[in-house]
Amino acid sequence: MSLREKGALLVLCGAIFLEGLDIAMLNVALPHIRADLQLSTATLSAVVSSYVIGYAGFMLFGGRICDLYGRRRVFLISLSVFIALSGLGGLATEGWMLLAARFLTGLSAAFMTPAGLSLITTNFSEGPRRNKAVLIYSGAASAGYSLGLVVGGVLTAISWRWVFFVPAIIAMVILLLAVKFIADSRQSEARRKFDLSGALFLTAAMLFAAIGIARLEHPEGLQTALAACALSAVFWVIFVITERRTSEPLIRLGIFRSGSLVRANLAMLLFGGAFFGFQFVVTLYLQELLGWTPLQTGLAVIVVSIDAILAPTLTPALVNRFGNVRVIVVGLVLAAVAYALFLRLGLDWTYAAMFPTMLVLGVGFALAYGPLTIVATNGVVENEQGLASSLINTSFQFGAGLGVSAVGALAVLGLGSGADAGARLEALRAAMLVPVAAAAVASFVMLTAKKERAAI
């Protein structure tokens, strides 16, 4: 790589690291935010789901905007908005201010994330160089999710407001470096007609789908969730009809004829659901049942971030030797094994009993996440790289929402205030079946890949 390419990769990895860090730190700080702002349980949950709604609701729209109007331009603008809104969250004195800030921060991330990944896939030619860059990028994302729990615990001990201020400061540094190092790729579609009606229908479909998923984790919100999902389905139908009839579609539906792209996105959805569902169980288990602090919880799962070391070092060699599909399947199987090991959780567990799960999961994440991204973007023409990037990120985020909702629905059965520790433990064990099943199904999905079946 040239000096400019290394600088650009550093900047883009910093942005995706920041996105993971922001989400993880907030999760740790939630109890302190509730106490300081006197938030109800419903409002506290909405603080998390509002980000997901903004992020997932606009992700596909954001990816296509990158293709049409320039990835560098969209990246810099959305990063600037992220800086302003993250800082605003730290200044919130009312619940509604925090909700608005998190929704708009998620919206800015919906443009920033696909812009960042598509800048990598368009600036590095398909093959070993791009694979290496994508795997380094995925390692940075994993490190953000893992280290964010630890950093969030430290900052929350000072003040929960620093959970919002620190990402804004980091984003400022990234923005300054981005202006220097990032060069835009070709924009063959920059002057094409913009499909406004398709954009509106797509955004409505994604927004209602995100709202439906966010409400699934609340038993009292089941009717709202079903209504939102039904509206999402209606808007999806209208969107497909609109795209088939227009000469300049926002999304060329033919992209879904790629079997590898569809399989990679489905596997990523299941993989994201398993991973975030597992994180939810671990947080409840360590803090609610074992009485660990947020910082201790973060330190317990930090070994999962070994992915940040393995993804750019071990994974590229394995991909070059065995191919993407083979490496992905092994990674997903290891993830399923890691989750299955955690089914034995007990009230007398020490960290030594949990360590194998954390270590095996870190290796599995390193082998699955990056190569899935590669498969989802390989073979896609340059003027649709933003779309392909947003698809794979949307799959991961929606999977995360589904996983947490499914795990939460099972865990809540035994986590009432009147339930004893034994009943709550059994509920968490039942909830752990969701990550195990999701990872297992994801590995089966990738085993059906026809083109690389012989290599498996």
10 belongs to a structural domain = yes
63 belongs to a structural domain = yes
200 belongs to a structural domain = no
274 belongs to a structural domain = yes
Report the CATH number that the domain containing residue 150 is assigned in CATH.
1.20.1250.20
Predicted TM-score (pTM) of the model is 0.81
228 belongs to a structural domain = no
Q: Which residues of the chain have pLDDT under 50?
A: 188-191, 417, 451-456
d(CA 404, CA 282): 12
pLDDT at 251: 76
177 belongs to a structural domain = yes
Exposed (0-12), middle (13-18) or buried (19+): which is 293, by Cβ within 10 Å?
Answer: middle
d(CA 423, CA 341): 20
Counting the structural domains of the chain, the total is 1
227 belongs to a structural domain = no
Condensed to tens digits (0 to 9), the pLDDT of residues 130-172 reads: 888 888 887 888 788 778 878 888 888 888 899 999 999 999 9
174 belongs to a structural domain = yes
Range of the domain at 166: 3-182+250-447
